[in-house]
Amino acid sequence: MSHRFGDDFPRYLRSLGTLACIEYVADVAELEMLRHKAEHAQHARPVATPILSRLSGETLKKLRVRLHPSVCLVQSRFPIVTAWETYRTSGAGVTVERWVGEAALVARPFLKVEVRRLPPGGYAFLRALSEGQTIGTAAAGRVNDVSPQFDLASVLELIEDAKVIIGVHR
């Protein structure tokens, strides 16, 4: 099976129109496609113990983090993580109560692909880190423009808990 299987499906769905129902299905398809991509990503050893939560603010700001090769990010104006989790645990026919946009971190640092809902600003922050920005630049830059509720400590705790850090550099 090709590692690119289904990569174009979300784009195909989006080409069908701009109705919200089409965009929603395309975003869920993208989440599934990213799960497949993460499953077949290169193996890498995560940092064994939490490092970032132990550092002072000034030291932390200057660091760059290298994320696991399986890390994929998706952002939607729909509750795609909630819908995906609900369907996987409860099956079809369950209604999503809170209809708000969500972003997800998809990764496979060990054997199982995990999908984690990102807090406000988490998508922009992790995208900036994946592009090589320092923690300070990522936290101060686009993140604060996108989400004033951004909480650096909670996002750092999430990525340490998810075991998706494979390197930390000055």
pLDDT at 1: 41
pLDDT at 163: 95
Whether 92 is in a domain gets the answer: yes
Whether 114 is in a domain gets the answer: yes
pLDDT at 160: 93
Residues in the chain: 170
Please give the model's pTM, rounded to 2 decimal places.
Answer: 0.86
CA distances from 139 to 25, 39, 114, 121, 168 (A): 31, 29, 24, 9, 16
Whether 102 is in a domain gets the answer: yes
pLDDT at 58: 86
**Domain of residue 86, CATH code:** 3.90.930
Burial grade of 63 (CB within 10 A; 0-12, 13-18, 19 or more): middle
Q: Which domain holds residue 119?
A: 42-169
Whether 48 is in a domain gets the answer: yes
pLDDT at 13: 82
Whether 17 is in a domain gets the answer: no
Residue stretches of the chain with pLDDT short of 50: 1-2
Whether 22 is in a domain gets the answer: no
Whether 86 is in a domain gets the answer: yes
pLDDT at 2: 46
Number of domains in the chain: 1
Whether 83 is in a domain gets the answer: yes
pLDDT at 145: 61
